[in-house]
Amino acid sequence: MKNKIMIVAALGLMILGGFLPQGAFAHTLWINTTNHSPAFHEKFGAQTKTYLGWGHLYPVADFLSADALLEYSLIDPSGKKSDIEPAETSGFLAAEVRMKQPGFYKISVIRKPGFYTMYEENGAIHHRMGPKTGLSGIILSQYSEQYAKSLIITGDARSESYKTPIGHKLEILPLENPAKLKGNGGDLLPVQILFNGKPARYCQVLATYAGFSTADDFAFATVANGQGIAHIRLLHWGNWLIKANHKLPPPADMTDKCDFMNYTATLTFEIP
């Protein structure tokens, strides 16, 4: 038992020190879209289906409750936002999305923020979905916010609105149109990571594509530069997930609640 506790404690310290990828620690939120480039019809518009990914295995892992979300919405080419109503209140939160005009659409999901604490008590490791306040034997404690975005292109989309931020605290912006790039390993997709609207300097950026792995693995890893820009080498065609992770020390009024602030953003899109 003592050895087990020491191993878990060492794992927690490694996570705090940034030596392990965030995927090894916490669930990740992302958006799955069945068709990122649905055909547009003048009479009927376009439609696709969306459902949420949650966990460690892209593209499908654990279930998520609608009660855990602050936002689940569709943003049209003009920037107008409308709520997405999933067919059920738990599970993959699948929904049909309809688009009435051609252009670039974005699906936005924001999870409710929260705390997670791991601590030792009476020779056992405990997990608490709350702050570390009042606890001893703290192994790690974090406050987390998670944001997810998915890009949909329908019709003859010639604008560059895919670059327009939607206002997530941590957000991944593609700087080129993914639909015009190839997945043969020769193209790079530049992205900019924003935190509170400003470049998230030197934050971790991971990327993978559907089918790369059945474990918690990413096909590509890099770090954003001083302007928050990273370049993702497109190693394969199909659906892609980019994940950005930004950790900060807590402000003065949060030091008694957590050890660090953890912000995660994901972007899903298709390389045709």
230-251 residue pLDDT tens? 999 999 999 999 999 999 999 9
122-178 residue pLDDT tens? 999 999 999 999 999 999 999 999 999 999 999 987 788 999 999 999 999 999 999
Predicted pLDDT of residue 6:
39
83-96 residue pLDDT tens? 999 999 999 999 99
Predicted pLDDT of residue 214:
84
What tokens appear for 209 in the block?
Answer: 């594509």
Q: Does residue 198 fall inside a structural domain? A: no
Specify the number of domains making up the chain: 1
253-269 residue pLDDT tens? 999 999 999 999 999 99
Q: Does residue 45 fall inside a structural domain? A: yes
Predicted pLDDT of residue 4:
42
Range of the domain at 70: 2-176+245-271
184-221 residue pLDDT tens? 999 999 999 999 999 999 999 999 999 999 888 999 99
pTM more than 0.85:
yes
Predicted pLDDT of residue 157:
74
63 pLDDT higher than 80: yes
Q: Does residue 219 fall inside a structural domain? A: no
What tokens appear for 268 in the block?
Answer: 């899903």
114-124 residue pLDDT tens? 999 999 999 99
Give the Å distances, CA to CA, from 144 to 24, 66, 154, 157. Answer: 15, 18, 34, 35
Q: How far apart are CA 86 and CA 97, in angstroms?
A: 10
State the pLDDT confidence band at 7, using cuts at 50, 70 and 90. very low
Mean of pLDDT values over 14-42: 71
Nearby residues of 80 by Cβ (< 8 Å), 6 or more positions away: none
Predicted pLDDT of residue 216:
87
Q: Does residue 233 fall inside a structural domain? A: no
Predicted pLDDT of residue 156:
81
Q: Does residue 111 fall inside a structural domain? A: yes
1 pLDDT higher than 50: no
Q: Does residue 96 fall inside a structural domain? A: yes
Nearest Cα neighbor of 141 from 24, 255, 251, 4 is 255
26 pLDDT higher than 80: no
Q: Contact at 8 Å (CB) between 109 and 71?
A: yes
Q: Does residue 200 fall inside a structural domain? A: no
Tokens 């003065």 belong to which residue? 252
Q: Does residue 251 fall inside a structural domain? A: yes
25 pLDDT higher than 60: no
